Amino acid sequence: MSAPTAWLVTGAHGQLGRELTALLGARPGDELTALGRDRLDLTDEDGVRATVRGWLAGARAAGRRPVLLNAAAYTAVDAAETDEDTALVVNGHAPGWLAEELAGAGRLVHLSTDYVFDGSATEPYPVDAPLAPRSAYGRTKAAGERAVAAAGGEATVVRTAWVYSRHSASFVRTMAGRAEAGAEVSVVDDQVGSPTWAAGLAAGLVALGERDEPAPPVLHRTDAGAVSWFGLARAVYEELGADPALVAPTTTAAFPRPAPRPAWSVLDGGPWLAAGLPEPLPWREALHRALAVPAGV
């Protein structure tokens, strides 16, 4: 990218937002604005639009190309079942407001999820697979995708799945704690997906944001390969030198939750590679690297 970039990261305090902020804050010549929920209330349309307009004006005045990475979301999957109205504003309406303000003025990269699909497939979901969410969370994220598309402009929806980091609340961090304690755990073995290290995902999103060429409207980006939650938990135990036999398989039916979980969350990353974007690591290699980072760092 020829001109320096003005980056705006929303959801800056989440596990992906923290990785984006750390990565972009170390880039010389670029300018970073990182906003968490304390500084950007995505339920406040007027506030959202005013914030983006102010940031765009500053970027133009400084001769920087504006790129907004929207990592903010209502991610409490079970809570959304009884609070769908709020989730719809954050996940559905707010991305549309961002896209409308960016249309013709800058680039938007908006994060979405495997939950927009029904989870019944047996092959990786292509980027143009029909949306068929089965949960309130999935419905609101699908609404966000549609809002971004309707706004036009230079916007790309990036679907991902099973995101984790060592320093933020996630399945991997929970399993790491259990492994370090030598605890027995039971983990579902009938849900399959692609674990995705937040640090690697962040690097890929930055590469997408800074490219000179237009990007496709929808892409998938997870780490490579697939495994069940049970297999992932065993891998965490193995990486940390704990006995993987402490991890026992169980079924989704044995652990009912308010929101249905997809049985199949594997996404086709072919278009990501075809766009010339960085190739993701195999999930097990990414996990190894993630667990080598001390917790809390």
Catalytic member of 74, 137, 164, 237: 137
Q: How far is residue 196's CA from residue 182's CA, in Å, rounded to a whole number? A: 25
CB-based contact 87:136 (threshold 8 Å): yes
Region of 240 on the Ramachandran plot (φ > 0 left; ψ -120 to 50 alpha; else beta): alpha
Closest CA to 240 of 189, 162, 279, 185: 185
Q: Strand 31-35 vs strand 65-70: parallel, antiparallel, or unpaired? A: unpaired
Closest CA to 285 of 208, 209, 221, 195: 195
Give the amino acid at 81: E
**Sheet containing 107-113: which strands, arranged edge to edge?**
31-35, 5-10, 65-70, 107-113, 154-160, 218-220
Q: How far is residue 227's CA from residue 22's CA, in Å, rounded to a whole number? A: 29
Is there a catalytic annotation at residue 137?
Answer: yes
CB-based contact 1:211 (threshold 8 Å): yes
Give the amino acid at 137: Y
Through-space distance between the first and last CA atoms of the chain, rounded to whole angstroms = 30
Q: Which residue has the tokens 């667990």?
A: 291
Closest CA to 77 of 257, 249, 268, 256: 257
Q: Which residues carry out catalysis?
A: 137
